[in-house]
Amino acid sequence: MGWTREQAKQLADQILSYSRARDCDVRLDLVQRTHTRFAANEVTTSGAMVDLNISVSSRDGKRTGTLQVNETSREALKKAVARSEELMHSAAPDAEYMEDLGPQQYPEVHAFNEETASATALDRRAGIQQAMEISRARKLKCSAFVQTTSRWSAIANKRKNFGFFASTQATFTSTARTQDATGSGWAGGASPRLLDISTQSIVERAAKKAESSANPRALDPGKYTVVLEPQAVADLMPNLLFSFSRRIADQGKSFLSKPGGGNRLGEKLFPDFVTIRSDPFNAQWPARPWAGGGGAGMGGARGGFLGFGGFGGAAFEGLPVRKVTWIDRGVVNGLSVDRYWATRVKVEPLPFSGTLTMEGGSGKIEDLIAGTERGLLITHFWYIRPVNPQNVELTGLTRDGVWLIEKGKIAYPVNNFRFNQSPVNMLKNIEAMSEPVVTALKDFSSSPMVVPAIRAKDFLFSSKSDAV
């Protein structure tokens, strides 16, 4: 199972050899996933899947046609290339067409763990069994999910560019609920190495949160000082980072736009202690060494179907990634720039890629709680959606544990809330931060990040939620 660099290159070269177009881009992804799901104190679904995505884009200097397939016979590959060329001929000229890149130097990123790639159902069962035993012993109703993903990716084109990247990812999350359904707790972890995830600790954290959040007292909505656990911070970040686009800022559609035109690059908008980077080399969650594309995607193959509203397939395609500081000690230090926009504003393209990291303080979350006169401790957020893209106002809800803090101590659990809050203002309102830690991989929201817990004032909760 899996590819070596040479095997991936051989397949890419075979596909490119069938091309008659001026340019041809190939993206390959061989993906092996395994999972076990446990819910309501029962193992539910479990599986092992192997999937292949071959994406072929034919290009003629004005037009691009892209085809995604997964059959590998010689005939199927030849047909795929021919069909991508037909698509190219049918497509209209692209006013933002960018020529293919020549050979690139991709940095070495070590992200593959053999033990994770070869984990069996019995290996995955260990964490699930811990969840089951703890939940039964403590009379809780428990759910857990463990997944491993092994991925072998390659990028290649007719201009002799080639990149190869092998990675593994493991994730474990658990939710415990009290039998009377008045308390709920969640915890999770992620790593390139399955064995580095402490499933016992995650299950116990979820169980403790469920027990200590039971029978919450009613508390009115309003503005509160909040202590956000690292996962809650991570949940709010993707929408914030979407605004860090030079194109969107220049078009006047971001909080980083100036009224009437221009952007706020170089302006100090946040406190001195706010520094946010993306780092593809972060050892806790390393990332692919090139930007854009990736084989999977373009919409449509799976159950739902969406239009593709991005900047076009070649926006960042194949650019080597690097560590970038987006906010440097409160100053807006970088905006991502796609290849076309870079030509128009005469700067180098700058992809956003890699794991988001945020500098923190030196203490623990307990220190943040101890320094809070009155506030709310939040586990994580759910169903976050943009309300106003201009100021990044978001709405969403707290989930799986909210507690009132009084005079530096957790007083009692309270109900969940809906929030209406911009993470821009949240960053401006930070009072203190803990040491950063790696967060979990949540299926519908954030990727793992390395962020601190934070204490921020004036976080707006607009209504109460009865959900537990």
Partner 1 sequence: MALDRAKKAGASYADIRINRYRAQVVNLRSEPDFATGKVNHVPTASDSEIFGFGVRVIADGAWGFAASYSVTEDEIARAVKDAVEIAKANAPLRSSPLELAPVVAVHDTYRTPIAKDPFSVPITDKLALLRNVADDAMKVSGVFSVTGFIAQRVEHRFFASSDGSQIEQHVYQISPEFTATAVEKGKKQKSRTYRPHAVTAGYEAVERAKMPSHARRVGEEVVNHLKAPPVTPGKKDLVLLPTHLGLTIHESIGHSTELDRALGYEANVAGTSFLTPDKLGKFQVGSEIVNFKGDRIRKESLSTCGYDDDGVKTRQFPIIQKGIFVGYQTIRDQAHLIGQKESMGCCYADSYDSVPFQRMPNVWLEPSSKPTTLADLISGVDDGVLIDGRGSYSIDHQRYNFQFGGDAFWEIKGGKVGPMIADVAYQSRTPDFWSACDAIGGEALWENIGLNADGKGEPGQINAMSHGCAPSRFRQITVLRTA
- Among positions 56-75, residues that touch partner 1 (CB under 8 A) are 64-72
| Minimum CB distance to partner 1 smaller for 61 or for 383 | 383
**What's 196's DSSP letter?**
G
Least distance (Å) between residue 149 CB and partner 1? 9
| Minimum CB distance to partner 1 smaller for 277 or for 399 | 399
Closest CA to 131 of 174, 184, 171, 172: 174
Burial-class residue 385 by CB neighbours within 10 Å (0-12, 13-18, 19+): exposed
Distance CA 428, CA 439 (A): 22
Distance CA 422, CA 18 (A): 50
SS3 117: helix
Distance CA 370, CA 367 (A): 5
Distance CA 204, CA 166 (A): 32
Distance CA 167, CA 267 (A): 37
**What's 195's DSSP letter?**
G
| Minimum CB distance to partner 1 smaller for 73 or for 105 | 73
Site string for partner 1, 111-140 (x = CB under 8 A): ---------xxx--x--xx--x--------
Decide if residue 49 touches partner 1 (CB under 8 A): yes
Structure token digits, residue 91: 């497509």
**Binder of partner 1 out of 44, 220, 222, 409 (CB under 8 A):** 44
| Minimum CB distance to partner 1 smaller for 106 or for 224 | 224
Distance CA 50, CA 376 (A): 44
Site string for partner 1, 422-441 (x = CB under 8 A): --------------------
Decide if residue 43 touches partner 1 (CB under 8 A): yes
Structure token digits, residue 217: 């007292």
Least distance (Å) between residue 143 CB and partner 1? 4
Size of the site for partner 1 (CB under 8 A): 113
Least distance (Å) between residue 177 CB and partner 1? 6
Decide if residue 305 touches partner 1 (CB under 8 A): yes
Determine the interface stretch with partner 1 among 2-10, 248-256, 323-331, 448-456 (rule: CB under 8 A). Answer: 248-256
Decide if residue 50 touches partner 1 (CB under 8 A): yes
Determine the interface stretch with partner 1 among 195-203, 233-241, 307-315, 363-371 (rule: CB under 8 A). Answer: 307-315
DSSP alpha helix (H) spans, 51-163: 74-90, 114-117, 121-137
Decide if residue 323 touches partner 1 (CB under 8 A): no
Determine the interface stretch with partner 1 among 18-26, 104-112, 195-203, 337-345 (rule: CB under 8 A). Answer: 337-345
**Binder of partner 1 out of 4, 13, 42, 107 (CB under 8 A):** 42
The answer to whether residues 409 and 366 touch, using CB atoms and an 8 Å cutoff, is no
The answer to whether residues 289 and 109 touch, using CB atoms and an 8 Å cutoff, is yes
Q: 154 CB contacts (<8 Å, ≥6 apart)?
A: 3, 8, 9, 11, 12, 26, 27, 28, 162, 163, 164, 165
Distance CA 424, CA 255 (A): 8
**Binder of partner 1 out of 12, 24, 109, 144 (CB under 8 A):** 144
Least distance (Å) between residue 73 CB and partner 1? 10
Decide if residue 387 touches partner 1 (CB under 8 A): yes
SS3 349: coil
Decide if residue 341 touches partner 1 (CB under 8 A): yes
Residues 357-376 that bind partner 1 (CB under 8 A): none
**Binder of partner 1 out of 20, 302, 362, 373 (CB under 8 A):** 302
Decide if residue 148 touches partner 1 (CB under 8 A): no
Residues 191-230 that bind partner 1 (CB under 8 A): none
Distance CA 226, CA 327 (A): 22
Structure token digits, residue 275: 């520094």
Decide if residue 318 touches partner 1 (CB under 8 A): no
Site string for partner 1, 398-417 (x = CB under 8 A): -x----------------x-
DSSP alpha helix (H) spans, 138-162: none
Decide if residue 463 touches partner 1 (CB under 8 A): yes
**Binder of partner 1 out of 112, 152, 186, 290 (CB under 8 A):** 186
Decide if residue 260 touches partner 1 (CB under 8 A): yes
Question: How far is residue 286 from each of residues 14, 117, 185, 283, 357, measured CA to CA in Å?
Answer: 29, 16, 28, 6, 11
